[in-house]
Amino acid sequence: MAKTPVQFTLNDKETAVFVDGGANLLDVLRRVVGDLSPKYGCGQGTCGTCTVLIDGEPRLSCLTLAETVSDQSIETTGGLADGPDLHPLQRVFMEQFAAQCGYCTPGMLMAAKALLARNPNPQREDVIEAISGNICRCTGYEPIIDAILDAAGEMRGRVS
């Protein structure tokens, strides 16, 4: 089967891969590039577990054809921390028990990051709206919402 060359930046790093026709971005990130932070949950765009940022927008990588991301910028949870320094979202998630089994966490963090980038001062309803596409089957939504609000406050403080 013919392969297509695709070049994009993954967490600010130039990445070039050959992908099979029809391959989805999730499989390419996990199996070809080796970034295991986005997770497979449903493969049909309903659970949000595979959420990554494409040019800053939250996207479901299981439904994104890998061929379509040429020259775009992709961010995953694997690139959220700056070396050993955790992103404020990661740290607050840790401190406030905003993860149980942890499987939805990478998707939640990406959805939250996109929200805070476009709205640094979200209301509770905005957070609920922003993660409404991400299922936490442990049903730990409240700590997740609290954590995102607290991280937003912390990030605003850091900027000012």
Partner 1 sequence: MSSIEFRKDLFADERDDALNEIGKPTIRQDILGHVTGRSPYFDDHLFDGLLHLRCVRSPHHHARIRAINTRAAQSMPGVVRIIMPQDVPNNLNTLLALIGFGKDDEALLQGNKVAYQGEAIVAVVAETELQARNACNAIQVDYDVLPHVLDVEEALLPNAPVVNETYPNNTFDYHELYDHQKLRFGDTQKAFAEADHIVEGQYQMSPIEQAPTETCGAIAAPETNDRYVCYTSTQALFFSLGTTAKLLDMPSSRMHFIGGTVGGGFGGKVDSLHEPLAVLGARLTGRPVKYSYDRAEEMQVGAPRGAERWRIKDGLLSDGRIIARQFTGFFDSGAYTRLSSYAIIKGTGHLPGPYTIPNVSSNVYCVYTNRTPATAMRGFGITGVDFSIECHMDKVAETVGMNPIELRILNAYRDGDMKAHRRTAKNCALIECAQVAAQKANWSIEPQYAAMSSLQGGGAERAQIPQTVIDDVGKIGARKHNAIETDPATNGTISSKPSSTVTPVHATQAMGDSVAPVSNSAPVANVIAATSPAAMNVPAVPATHGQTPPPQTFTQSATSPPAGAPSSQAPRPSPAPPVVSTDAPKPVEPYRPQQPFSRGVKRPGASPFVSGTRRR
Q: How far apart are CA 8 and CA 49, in angstroms?
A: 22
Is residue 117 near partner 1 by the rule CB under 8 A? no
Can you tell me which of 13, 102, 121, 154 binds partner 1, judged by CB under 8 A?
102
The least CB distance from residue 127 to partner 1, in Å, is 17
- Position among 3, 16, 81, 120 found at the interface with partner 1 (CB under 8 A): 81
Find out whether 86 and 94 touch, Cβ atoms under 8 Å: yes
> What is the C-alpha to C-alpha distance for residues 104 and 49, in angstroms, rounded to an integer?
5
> Among residues 90, 113, 144, 155, which is the contact residue for partner 1, using CB under 8 A?
90
Residue appearing with tokens 């493969």: 43
Q: Distance (Å, rounded) from C-alpha 123 to C-alpha 127?
A: 7
Strands (E), 11-111: 13-20, 51-54, 57-60, 73-75
- Out of 43, 65, 126, 128, the only residue in the binding site for partner 1 (CB under 8 A) is 43
31 near partner 1, judged by CB under 8 A: yes
Q: Which residues bind partner 1 (CB under 8 A)?
A: 30-31, 34, 36-44, 46-47, 49, 76-78, 80-81, 86, 89-91, 93-97, 99, 101-106, 109, 135-138, 143
